[in-house]
Structure 1
Amino acid sequence: MLAPLVCRQPAAPGGPVSATPPAPPAPPAPARTALRICPLCEATCGLTLTIEGTRVTGARGDRDDVFSRGFICPKGAAFGELDADPDRLTTPLVRGADGELHEAGWDEAFDAVAAGLRPLVERYGPQALGVVLGNPNVHTMAGALYPPVLLQTLRTRNLFTASTLDQMPKHVSSGLLFGDPLAIAVPDLDRTDHLLLLGANPLESNGSLCTAPDFPGRLKALRARGGTLVVVDPRRTRTARLADRHLAIRPGTDALLLAALAHVLLAEKLTAPGRLEEHTDKLAELAAALAPFTPEAAAGACDVPAEEIRTLARQLAAARTAAVYGRIGSCTVAHGTLANWLVDVLNVLTGNLDRPGGVLFPLPAAGPRPRPAGPGRGFALGRWHSRVSGHPEAKSELPAAALAEEIDTPGEGRIRALVAIAANPVLSAPDGHRLDAALAGLDFMVSVDPYLNETSRHAHVVLPPPPPAQSAHHDFAFNAFAIRNQVRYTRPAVPLADGLMDECEIHARLILAASGLHGADPRSVDDLVIATTLGKAVADPASPVHGRDPHALAALLTGENGPERRLDLMLRLGPYGDGFGTDPDGLTLDRLLAAPHGIDLGPLTPRLPGILRTTTGRIDLLPAPIAADLPRLRAALTPDPAAFLLVGRRHLRSNNSWLHNVPALTGGTNRCTLQIHPDDAAPLGITDGTRVRVTADGGSVEAPAELTDTLRPGVVSLPHGWGHDRPGTRLSVAAADPGANVNQLLDGTRMDPLSGTAVLNGFPVTLLPLPAAAPLTPA
């Protein structure tokens, strides 16, 4: 049982009341503006903030931003409200001997971290510690720069991230195809003639693994120039309504449809890989492997007519340029890795991989320089396995769905301590009830989080980062998926408030406390990273600083602090960098600071074969793990006769579980309702507002029905990220309208075996309408 949060309150004032009239209030500070890159979704739009004193009072799109050109969505417009959320923690919390969380100073908090983590690691070894990284990490500089250092220091293999709840199939398929799990080709939206979208709703999500401000405007421009947009989705989403053609596919069958499309291209000799052919292996083996997936064989399972599949394949082949793009709906399903593999197989077969107007590999400014073409180390799966169920690692991560069992299953090697950074897996992972109980049984937990939420309420120490206006920003992650090469950096728009600690310093001090170096200067973490990076660079014959003195190079770095010096280092060594003087016109932090709206680095360009890191130096069209999983896909040609399949849905004014406490971003369409087709609702006696109990493998939840014909019959939809009804949190707005946790319907056993990604879409459920007087069961 969690103890209630105890907050220290100031003593009431006492003494006589002065007869002196109060001084007149000081005049308000004049309003000013400041630039900030929006951290609330993957579009990374530039914002112009209006600031009065230290408060953000308005936000609009930055019309001079080199990438977003003034575009803004409701999330960006609500930046000030999020920034000033009164429920944000402003001081660390430490659990005392009474079992309650108390406000504490920063030194006390890090003393508690060191005292809680190090003895456990020293007694039980590094595998007694788990690390959980949530989605917001990729939206901050600190989340990009410091967790890798923490993991290297701790040497634990128990890493769990949001990737196995959304995008890991794309990483695995890219790793198997190209040898690098981060080599992800993105659609060239502004130049393509034909775009096929699967399981993506960018008019609501603003894009995913495709960083594109004003995705809606770009899709409209595609159609205005005579291009074709095809959307495959069981829901008639806002994106689908914009399309030339919408295929309301049966949920979870994306891989079957894609396999049938590839089959048509191969059988009808419509393939035209062009220059890709000299860089590709196993084309003949691919044709044999896909032979069973004829349009006729796939039609029944997909519920898409065979002739429609043939027409779609022929149009894809005939387009002057084309791009196939699949996202969350094609990842969080039973065959997620196969679906993402087939996305790029189609791009290869049509010659559109690494081609303007097709899909291309970005070249981010703070990323590595291109390497000479040739064989690489390749990509391997299952280098180790989880302790309890033996799940293979993927990209050094274990499935988030396995976290609870790794904590609550007794035995040597169980997780006893947890570091959670910007993570709320109680809501975002399957079977939150089990994970909730497991977290309560940990010996120690530290959470870096601005909120006391459903997960951080279990922590022994909570370290709150400052509001986003008080943090600098550069998109290390999303520039690697951007549809145009560019670079932007914004310093804090508002000075760090008294009593708060910069997020980068929080991470650096956490690393020191967890590694046995508690009390050392946090700047030493950045100094060590810089020294290590330069040491490798000067020893690398391909580096522009090969043979130079690393200490002299470090002295050349500029920046006001360690994170800025590290950014300067990455820019100088990056593909557009000055190479510490070897290219006088190259990029440095100083040049970037002189361009407050960013620097445009040009459109994406072909990068093959240099991008390839397979052991052959060629594209592996039929990797062995993929071939071994195809029999499972063949079995799916006979569909499960479930009455109802459940899918999630995106909201433009939401992002997973972390924006439900902002009043401006709740209400309207952003509600936790069970959408159901009227033809399905009528026989069950369900009308708008009827409370419905939804049941699946992991249990039941209840939600009000919303009748809509935007769903295909046999499909129901609940959004992700809700369920804010647990005690002990400090989320007043979210708790007032908690919604139902859709992930509680799952017990974690449904998983894509190659990537370890939880199946969050396309699973069977049963429905039971409840009488109006029935008590609501907590989600």
Structure 2
Amino acid sequence: MENGTHYRTCHLCEAMCGVAIEMKSGRIASIKGDDNDPLSHGHICPKAIALQDLHEDPDRLKKPIRRTSTGWQQMEWDEAFDLVAERLHEVRKQHGKNAIGVYQGNPNVHNHGAMIASLPFLRAIGSQNRFSATSNDQLPHMLASLEMFGHQILFPIPDIDRTDLFMCIGANPMASNGSLMTVPDIRGRLKALKSRGGKLVVIDPRNTETAKLADEFHFVRPGSDALLLMAMVNTLFAEDRVDPGHAEPWIKDIDLIRLAALPFTPDAVSAHTGLMPEAIRDLARQLATTPKAALYGRIGTSTQAHGGVATWLIYVLNILTGKLDTTGGVMFTQPAIDMVELGAMSGQKGHFGRRTSRVKGLPEFGGEYPSSTIADEILTPGEGQIKAFVTVAGNPLLSSPNGGRLEEAFSGLEFMVSVDYYLNETTRHADVILPPTAALERSHYDLIFSMFAVRNTAKYSEALFKPSPDARHDWQIMLELAHRLEKKRKGGRLPLRAEAGWRAFKQLGPDPLLDIMLRSGPYGTELGPAKPLIQPAMDLLMGILPERHPLKGLARLSPLDRRWRDLPKGLSLSALKANPSGIDLGPLRPCLPDRIYTRDGKINLAPRRYLRDLDRLIARLETPASDELMLIGRRHVRSNNSWMHNSQRLVKGKDRCTMMIHPTDASRLGLLEGDAAELSTDAGKIVVPVEITEDMMPGVISVPHGWGHSRMGTRQAVAEAHAGASINDIIRDDQIDPLSGTSVLNGQTVHVKAWKAERSRKRA
């Protein structure tokens, strides 16, 4: 790569920060923030600096490897593709198509090539046993968007740059840089909020990094957020403060919400939530009386026993107080590549509960089952039992509940393949590992997180490094495997047109498709002279895509029938290449009713599945609050996915894998600062250092996720030297939110006691 400065988007979290990478003698000399990036304006966090570490990591795999009786051996690509396709085909032929399970980790959604190739890859595998990080993360938000607005990825985003009240519950954007709210430089934006006379309110079981900046902070008991939010709804009706404002013509069933909230008075929920009744009423009043206000919730509210209802109620409260689709409230984005509209045009708006999992009867969402049931489906005999497994850029053994049981499951498979460039806690169980190119060796466009950003922007980054001739991008790996699986399924040969379609797809790659999506989007320009050249390839491509693939909406190669006539035009891939820092497309804009995709064109304020689930919430209200210790996770700005722990730059400093505990709980248990504590549940035990702090709510402890790098057989030297313990080894996989199928990662009870080194020696 040439010397000089190259501009790119950091892909390591949702913030999409722009970086300026200085190259000298073919190597990275420095990484700084890009002052001209229209979204991040020069801000970066420590993760962006570590892009160099991850690219240069000596532990990163660069050629396929397979397990043998004498250890791991390198393979050539053709040999590896043949082996994987043959073994997966054998399993499918012997046990049926559902005998293959697939797990996709969240790095896939930071990778436009992987996203474009994943659906034909999944179709070629043909299994219903699909899983992803979604059910350990944002599934309740997707379900609420589907049920209320008619599309699973249509999220209302806080207009934080123009709001006067930002109310944050169960979220810590100072550590996450926003989540389902792409917001680089949250500190600067919160400072600007206060400078214009605005206010930050935080509600959380921990006095988080975000809470420390708050004007008002409230502790709340884990898992009780739905009770608190319903009491706020109750207050709005009791005090006649309901005013949907601008959105009123397009909403229905307000009366059903009023009736549903009747039992949940602030006085009734106070003991369960830990908030005084008047504090609950005041929160509702602040939201109702501040014209520009936004209520935002994330992991803490969604990954709990009532996560589905809690997330729904956050949307409901924003609507009832007139904050939906208004400046300074919560608004829908208008991205350059509108995956919402493309999905709607191809009939892919989302679906839920069309079938249930074999063992526990859990509902599918968008064709995926909850990740908490992976081990069930592998370990439980019978028709449809998973015999082979595929992971793509994921480490479920550290990111999904009950890691010990998952380890047992993976170790007993007939065959396993991982598309990953690390030999980690999950991939060490694979028979073959297919390593893709590193992120800086491929182009980048954020298809997904541009749809969740607090401002409309578009940015494309060319590959910084040219991959070696023997390297393969992840989209190439998936397409090659899919092609070979399809040929095996058809007896070795495909019809001529289908074969031409596969070849066109592999030759085109993701970037020409990006250009088509940009030109067909709300800001796009016509293809012009290029159209006759691209149309035949697109026609072939459409023939091999799944029936409802979002790209089906591009079949005509003409701009989408947009209703937003006032947007700037002329966007294309060449325009983005000419503006490497990105193009500003403007602030969020009101766009109702154009952004409603329900059948009747109304926002469904009271979906029946949520109303039915309130019986469970009433039962919680009628049960005395537990005095057992409750476990929550936490996030650090230097840590997102488990593979980031192999960067010395990100793990250096004090130990961050600790158990945070309030002084009164520590004293009661006889724990001192720095002691080792044993945490146990029915799922297992872990040992972690004790960190005593008044930042924790009494009765609550916190352990971060993504650690636990002490398992044998991995090749991540830095991570192994900072192993920590995996919180998922004590998270039970039989606790889920039955409404949404989401794993309960926050609010499970846990036993804690002092751990002595002698106990370890006796066991040995």
Q: Alignment partner of 2:115: what SS? A: helix
Aligned residue for 2:405? 434
Letter in 1 for 2:176: S
Q: Please, which runs of 5 or more residues in structure 2 have no aligned partner? A: 494-498, 539-550
Letter in 2 for 1:524: A
Q: Alignment partner of 2:356: what SS? A: coil
Structure-2 change in CA distance of 1:338 and 1:739 (3 Å):
same
Aligned residue for 2:650? 665
Aligned residue for 1:457? 428
Which residue among 607, 619, 626 is the counterpart of 1:623? 607
Cα offset, 1:482, TM superposition:
0.8
Aligned residue for 1:33? 5
Cα offset, 1:742, TM superposition:
0.7
Cα offset, 1:433, TM superposition:
1.2
Structure-2 change in CA distance of 1:536 and 1:248 (3 Å):
closer
Aligned residue for 1:706? 691
Between stretches 251-260 and 612-621, larger displacement belongs to: 612-621
Q: Within the alignment, does 1:53 sit opposite 2:25 as a pair?
A: yes
Q: Within the alignment, does 1:81 sit opposite 2:81 as a pair?
A: no
Q: Please, which runs of 5 or more residues in structure 1 have no aligned partner? A: 1-28, 558-565
Aligned residue for 2:541? none
Q: Within the alignment, does 1:632 sit opposite 2:612 as a pair?
A: no
Q: Within the alignment, does 1:610 sit opposite 2:594 as a pair?
A: yes
**Residue pairs, 1:122-161, within 5 angstroms:** 122-161=93-132
Cα offset, 1:688, TM superposition:
1.1
Cα offset, 1:36, TM superposition:
1.7
**Residue pairs, 1:356-755, within 5 angstroms:** 356-368=327-339, 380-516=351-487, 523-526=503-506, 553-554=534-535, 585-637=569-621, 638-668=623-653, 671-755=656-740
Cα offset, 1:173, TM superposition:
1.1
Aligned residue for 2:317? 346
Aligned residue for 2:193? 222
Q: Distance in 1 between matches of 2:504 and 2:396?
A: 32
- Residues 349-380 of structure 1: per-residue CA shift (max 9 Å, x gap): 01111111100111221125859999x99865
Letter in 2 for 1:229: L
- Residues 696-718 of structure 1: per-residue CA shift (max 9 Å, x gap): 23121111111111111111110
Q: How many residues align?
A: 733
Aligned residue for 1:175? 146
Maintained 8 Å contact 2:731/2:748: no
Structure-2 change in CA distance of 1:645 and 1:574 (3 Å):
farther
Q: Alignment partner of 1:739: what SS? A: coil
Maintained 8 Å contact 1:56/1:83: no
Structure-2 change in CA distance of 1:171 and 1:89 (3 Å):
same
Between stretches 139-148 and 725-734, larger displacement belongs to: 139-148
Q: Alignment partner of 1:730: what SS? A: coil
- Residues 56-90 of structure 1: per-residue CA shift (max 9 Å, x gap): 23211111112211111000012111211111111
Q: Alignment partner of 1:277: what SS? A: helix
Q: Distance in 2 between matches of 1:568 and 1:634?
A: 44
Q: Alignment partner of 1:747: what SS? A: coil
Q: Distance in 2 between matches of 1:586 and 1:254?
A: 45
Maintained 8 Å contact 1:454/1:724: yes
Q: Distance in 1 between matches of 2:156 and 2:620?
A: 28
What is the identity percentage for the equivalent residue pairs of Structure 1 and Structure 2? 43
Cα offset, 1:575, TM superposition:
6.0
Maintained 8 Å contact 1:200/1:326: yes
Structure-2 change in CA distance of 1:639 and 1:227 (3 Å):
farther
Q: Within the alignment, does 1:193 sit opposite 2:164 as a pair?
A: yes
Letter in 1 for 2:204: D
Q: Alignment partner of 2:728: what SS? A: helix
Structure-2 change in CA distance of 1:281 and 1:744 (3 Å):
same
Q: Distance in 1 between matches of 2:224 and 2:669?
A: 26
Q: Alignment partner of 1:775: what SS? A: helix
Letter in 1 for 2:66: V
**Residue pairs, 1:55-70, within 5 angstroms:** 55-70=27-42
Maintained 8 Å contact 1:373/1:617: no
Cα offset, 1:500, TM superposition:
2.0
Between stretches 111-120 and 300-309, larger displacement belongs to: 111-120
Q: What is the RMSD computed on CA atoms of the aligned residues?
A: 3.3
Maintained 8 Å contact 1:377/1:613: no
- Residues 93-119 of structure 1: per-residue CA shift (max 9 Å, x gap): 1234x3742111111111111111112
Aligned residue for 2:211? 240
Cα offset, 1:215, TM superposition:
1.4
Aligned residue for 1:22? none
Maintained 8 Å contact 2:374/2:406: yes
Which TM-score applies when normalising by structure 2?
0.90
Aligned residue for 1:768? 753
Maintained 8 Å contact 2:98/2:127: yes
Maintained 8 Å contact 1:576/1:587: no
Maintained 8 Å contact 1:160/1:400: yes
Between stretches 379-388 and 330-339, larger displacement belongs to: 379-388
Q: Within the alignment, does 1:277 sit opposite 2:248 as a pair?
A: yes
Cα offset, 1:771, TM superposition:
2.2
Q: Alignment partner of 1:383: what SS? A: strand
Which TM-score applies when normalising by structure 1?
0.88
Q: Distance in 1 between matches of 2:233 and 2:243?
A: 12
Structure-2 change in CA distance of 1:53 and 1:555 (3 Å):
farther
**Residue pairs, 1:245-324, within 5 angstroms:** 245-324=216-295
- Residues 397-456 of structure 1: per-residue CA shift (max 9 Å, x gap): 101010011011111111111111001011111111111111111122111111000111
Cα offset, 1:552, TM superposition:
5.2
Maintained 8 Å contact 2:514/2:573: no
Aligned residue for 1:116? 87
Q: Distance in 2 between matches of 1:448 and 1:118?
A: 17
Maintained 8 Å contact 1:698/1:745: yes
Maintained 8 Å contact 2:304/2:737: yes
Q: Alignment partner of 1:87: what SS? A: coil
Q: Distance in 2 between matches of 1:574 and 1:242?
A: 44
Q: Distance in 2 between matches of 1:125 and 1:414?
A: 9
Maintained 8 Å contact 1:672/1:722: yes
Q: Within the alignment, does 1:208 sit opposite 2:179 as a pair?
A: yes
Structure-2 change in CA distance of 1:573 and 1:232 (3 Å):
farther
